[in-house]
Amino acid sequence: MIARIWRGFTTEGKGDEYYEFLQRTGLKDYRATPGNLGVTVLRRRRDGKAEFILISYWDSLDSIRKFAGSDVEKAYYYPEDKDYLLEFEPKVAHYDVLEGESEFENLMSQISL
């Protein structure tokens, strides 16, 4: 399993609205992409900003390409992100998941690779 990690910042006042936007766009698109195994959304409010960390879980880099395109390291943005985000990080990070919570372990045991 591969974890794809993206981070973005918006103003604290737009934090709830941006989360709703994520639910309609990126989170929905992650879940609709074959090979996506789930997503975790983290938010931290600090110093007038809302920091979001999205950790999506994938069965392979090929599956990530179905979502992100051929350059899997490039961050994927929607046109409306410009209305919320304070900056645009150009890259995401990928990690091999060596151990996870039982929810993901149960899911992986149901997938025949």
Task: Assess if residue 113 is contained within a domain.
Answer: no
Q: Return d(Cα 69, Cα 65) in angstroms, integer.
A: 5
Q: Say how many domains are in the chain.
A: 1
Task: Assess if residue 39 is contained within a domain.
Answer: yes
| pTM of the predicted protein model | 0.85
CATH code, 45: 3.30.70.100
Asked if pLDDT for residue 112 goes beyond 70, the answer is no
Residue 85 sits in which domain range?
Answer: 2-107
Task: Assess if residue 87 is contained within a domain.
Answer: yes
Q: Return d(Cα 52, Cα 45) in angstroms, integer.
A: 9
Task: Assess if residue 112 is contained within a domain.
Answer: no
pLDDT tens profile 50-86: 999 999 999 999 999 999 999 999 999 999 999 999 9
Task: Assess if residue 41 is contained within a domain.
Answer: yes
Task: Assess if residue 62 is contained within a domain.
Answer: yes
pLDDT tens profile 18-56: 999 999 999 999 999 999 999 999 999 999 999 999 999
Q: What was the pLDDT predicted at 101? A: 62
Task: Assess if residue 91 is contained within a domain.
Answer: yes
